[in-house]
Structure 1
Amino acid sequence: MKNTVPSARRRRGALMVLAAAVMLALTGCDGGDLVSYDLPAKSGRYTFEAKTDDVSTVWQYTSAEPAKDDAPQLSPCMGEVVGGDTAACRPEPLIFLRYDFGLALDNTVKAGESHDITVVGYYQERLTALPKVTSLKAETTFDGGRTWRPATTRATGKNTFTTTVRNPRRDQAAHGVGLRISATDSQGNTVRQTLPSAYTLR
């Protein structure tokens, strides 16, 4: 993790992140590894990066100083559960992405036609004040990530967007269709997620 504020410690158990959330969202799983770490005393802007298999995600977010009551009673801090640490902690406002690729039973999409993908932004359940995802941009690649082109995207519901991809012929996307999503919320937090091969063509 990169940070842009002084490194003075302020609390433990500061963040509970679904570190495997990228692939969990793609596969529909509900569990994941929980990660906690210390953050500096001041509110600051952070960059958090994760890579699961070939899927990479970069978050940029602002961490506010936590109050003692930031952790919901029914979802206590990790330190309280496993280590007896009662230092203030809070979940961080990272934007996670969930996809509905609209795949056929063989996990493919028809080549040479326009295809809609639904992308939903969501947050950790422990977060008490939920921001709103205000914008989402999509890009596609047909050559394994060497070149990217914009895809039409429109808002279709709360934190929900539909991206329309014009699929090429199958021989023009030998490695499948890749997707890169960039989203921003009402608090200025961002996420950029790259899926080098989101789906294959038939």
Structure 2
Amino acid sequence: MAPATRAAWTFTSEAPASGTAPVPLLFIDYDLRLDLENTAPRGLPYTFGVNVSQSQPQGPNVAAAKVWASFDDGVNWQELTVRGGQGLSTVGVKHPARGGSGFVSLRVQAADTAGNTIEQTIIWAYRLR
């Protein structure tokens, strides 16, 4: 279980003419392909999915996403290779063969075409074996 998770959103909203309207928030989903103990192999290339979506079905398109990994509990961050677009991306990382805390922490920043953003950090997102 992650000992620390942080998410921060920036968005523009206005009062609807009548009734209510959803706030234009971005959400991040991860497809980590971990084993039953939430671990991934050390020392090997590893890919996982990141899906960024908008809370409004007809909202702005997701424009960009960046992903970082930390192997020392968030002290140092390494930007990862992100492939794909429109909110659905594949991320590649090479896990260290040894050292570090034995965990991978993740940070994602994403934005949509209207300038709404999210930054999410998960310390100890998953363990290395």
Compute the TM-score of the two structures, normalised by the length of structure 2.
0.90
Q: Output one character per residue of 1:137-188: Cα deviation in whole Å (capped at 9) or x when no partner.
A: 01110101111111111115x420111111002x423240111000011111
CA distance, structure 2, for counterparts of residue 66 and residue 155 of structure 1: 34
**Sequence identity, in percent?**
34
Q: Helix, strand or coil: the match of 1:64? A: coil
1:93 is the counterpart of 2:31: no
- For 1:161 and 1:63, how far apart are their aligned partners in 2? 27
Tell me the distance in 1 between the aligned counterparts of 2:72 and 2:87: 29
In 2, the alpha carbon distance for the partners of 1:160 and 1:67 equals 33
**Alpha carbons of structure 1 residues 64 and 190: separation in structure 2 relative to 1, 3 Å:** same
Aligned letter for 1:183? Answer: A
1:199 aligns with 2:126: yes
Counterpart in the other structure of 1:163:
91
Give the aligned residue type for 1:118.
G
Superposed displacement of residue 53, structure 1: 5.8
Moved over 4 A (4+): none
**Larger Rg belongs to:** 1
Report the counterpart of residue 137 of structure 1 in structure 2. Answer: 66
How far apart in 1 are the matches of 2:126 and 2:95? Answer: 11
Residue type of the alignment partner of 1:187? A
Larger strand fraction of residues: 2
Read off the aligned partner of 2:5 and give its amino acid letter.
V
Say whether residues 1:151 and 2:115 are aligned partners.
Answer: no
Please report the RMSD computed on the Cα atoms of aligned residues, expressed in angstroms: 1.7
Instruction: Indicate the residue corresponding to 1:65 in structure 2.
Output: 15
Q: Give the gaps of 5 or more residues in structure 2.
A: none
Which residue is equivalent to 2:101?
A: 174
- 2:106–2:123 CA contact under 8 A, matched in 1: yes
May I ask how many residue pairs the two structures share in their alignment?
Answer: 128
Q: Select the structure with the greater relative contact order (CA < 8 A; seq sep ≥ 6).
A: 2
Distance across 1 between alignment mates of 2:63 and 2:48: 18
User: Equivalents in 2 of 1:58, 1:174: separation in Å?
Assistant: 25
Letter of the structure 2 residue corresponding to residue 104 of structure 1: D
What is the TM-score normalised by the length of structure 1? 0.59
- Residue 123 of structure 1 deviates from its aligned partner by 2.9
Unaligned runs of 5+ in 1: 1-51, 69-87
Matched to 1:173, the amino acid is: G
Structure whose residues are more often helix by fraction: 1
SS of match in other structure, 2:66: strand
Counterpart of 2:12, as a letter, is: T
